[in-house]
Amino acid sequence: MMEYSPVIGLEIHAQLLTRSKLFCACATTGDDAPNSRTCPECLGHPGALPVLNAEAVRMAIRAGTALGCTLHPDSRFARKHYFYPDLPKGYQITQYDRPIGTGGALRFRMPDGNIAHAAIQRIHLEEDAGKLIHTETDARADDNRCGTPLLEIVTYPVFISPEAAVAFLQELRRMLMYIGICDGSMEHASLRCDANVSLRDTANAPGQRTEIKNLNSFRHIEHALHWEIDRQRTVLASGGTVEAVTLLWDENANAGSIMRGKESAADYHYVDDLDLPELVITTEEIESVVATLPELPLARAERLVQEHGLSHYDADVLTADRMMVDFFEELLRCLPADRRAALTKSAVHWINGELLAAMKNQACGTIPVDAARLAHLLERIDDGSISHSAAKLVFENMCGSSQDADALIAELGLLQVSDETTLRALAEDILEAHPAEVHAFQNGKQGLLGFFIQRMMEQSQGKADPRRSSAILRDLLAGAGDQEMKEATARRSEQEGSERSARAGEGDSP
């Protein structure tokens, strides 16, 4: 039986974060009432002339530089002709044989943790189409999206599994968001993907290529690719021929459906758009954009692993959002140099946990606490001034206020008790009150240490230093030094035994 291996290429459409559309002054965001953000140009009215958005060009240069593309000093716009109800012009302005950038590659982390490279074929600018709103009875065209600037990124067919394709797309999304040119929202179609799939046989002969259109989630992409690979294998195994078709994916049905035969370039009747001159970019323009590029997320994640000993997982989570990783590095700078290494793991925990949760609960896009005050709170946890649970309360009160950790600890009465004499007396009382548990601990049930610590926290209203409490309890339970406590525990145990015997005797009376 012939064996086949998948060959996958991706075409990614990223909406650019410009305030206006690619060839007119209509806003890209704002009033979402259907057809409220349109004009004669984006609707294709006779006599309207396109004017190129310079900011979209700068964003394309940013992406091309980040991807290592060759940026061409002169490129050209063309008209791509096809009919669809959400394309009022009857053509789409795009770049065809002379794109703004070619070549390049993106490094990304595979599911097994290894770093891979995916080759980029080209990047080009084009305008988006509108969208159809389907109801139970009809479909209506909303042209608000017409003319929104898109950057299309086309890979070579280099992916040999759906998982590799998804890993690449996840890194590309992170990079585009990181350099500030796309919000990465797949749910709102700001980032969407077409996938080309074929099967190669053992003789390395490529098969017929099909295309799955408009995939807008990582899960959908992975499911759709697996489904299409299986479908093509089934067709070939039965002696059939894979046809060149365009498919749509239905996630609810977990199946694709044929939309139409796959078009070729000739079907679109490309012609140069004579209303637009050549796009000329100078070396100086490229250099001015390159100077503003940040360190890219994968490179930054690798640096955090090397410099601070982070796990790849933590580094990837932090660098998913440039604002958060900037805050993390500022937080480390605010920590004392001699304690920075010891507190790095705690810093990661608080950012990926409490800070992200606070931002989600407050539904805010800004960080609600400054790095210096959070650094001081981490110091207080580390030096035993406050327990971790109490620190969460301090943090909640710190968000949105100007008070520092020490002021809030004092105001809320949360200063941790670390005094040896006080803690030892409390521990002795706890052990004396629970002789059965003490006996069980001394007979091998070491997990009961947590029970005693919990009782101490309850008795101290959360103020007992857990580390000191643990050490004192271990010392007392090991019998290192308080014979009187042992005797009291024994007396209490004996007394409870006598009471149980008495109750048992009463139960036997007639």
pLDDT 10s digits, 379-412: 988 887 887 888 888 998 988 788 888 899 888 8
The model's pLDDT over 306-339, given as tens digits with 9 standing for 90+, comes to 999 999 999 999 998 899 999 999 999 999 999 9
The whole-angstrom separation of Cα 355 and Cα 348 is 10
The whole-angstrom separation of Cα 192 and Cα 183 is 12
Mean pLDDT computed over 13-37: 93
Regarding predicted confidence, which is higher, 63 or 461? 63
Shortest CA distance to 393 belongs to which of 416, 409, 381?
A: 409
The whole-angstrom separation of Cα 460 and Cα 393 is 17
Q: What pLDDT does 19 receive? A: 96
Cβ-Cβ contacts under 8 Å for 445 (sequence gap 6 or more): none
What are the domain boundaries of the chain? 4-289, 297-412, 420-508
Q: What pLDDT does 296 receive? A: 94
- Cβ–Cβ < 8 Å for 152, 12: yes
CB crowding 7-26: b at 16 or more within 10 Å, else e: bbbbbbbbbbbbebbbbbeb
Which token pair is 194? 């077409």
Question: For residue 101, what are the β-bridge partners?
Answer: 71, 123
Mean pLDDT computed over 21-32: 91
Identify the helix (H) or strand (E) that includes residue 132: strand 131-134
The model's pLDDT over 247-266, given as tens digits with 9 standing for 90+, comes to 999 988 888 888 887 777 77
Reported as a pLDDT band with limits 50, 70 and 90, residue 448 is confident
* Helix, coil or strand: residue 203: coil
Q: Is the backbone of residue 364 left (phi > 0), alpha (psi -120 to 50) or beta?
A: beta
